Amino acid sequence: MENEDLIKYCRYYKGEEQNPFDKVDQDKAMLWFYEMCFVKHGQRYDYNDLLSEYAVVGLTSFAKDDGVPIELKALLFNRYSKTAYSMMDAAEPFKEFYLKYYG
């Protein structure tokens, strides 16, 4: 799959050069940025570590059928969990955050 094809899985990044959510909504600006990274790095990035983290905290079946690739969810969780005390502590709040913006 071409990197550009990954845009169809994004809710916020649509290929823009500038983040349209800057100075409007900090959470959407952050999601736009990570979706942009997901698209630009695409298949070249090794998601194994992120997928392992995602599995360890029991998220592999979370929002399984929402059309968002698990690699993108794992990336978002990895970034989200950096603000928590631990990855385990981040799992439940991440679900709420994710459903707010992707649900």
Per-residue pLDDT tens for 5-64? 899 999 999 999 999 999 999 999 999 999 999 999 877 788 999 999 999 999 999 999
Residue 44 has a pLDDT of: 79
**SS3 assignment, position 87:** helix
Q: Which two tokens stand for residue 17?
A: 């050069």
pLDDT band at residue 1 using 50, 70 and 90 as cut-offs: low
Task: Give pTM, 2 decimals.
Answer: 0.91
Residue 13 CA to residue 20 CA, distance in Å, equals: 9
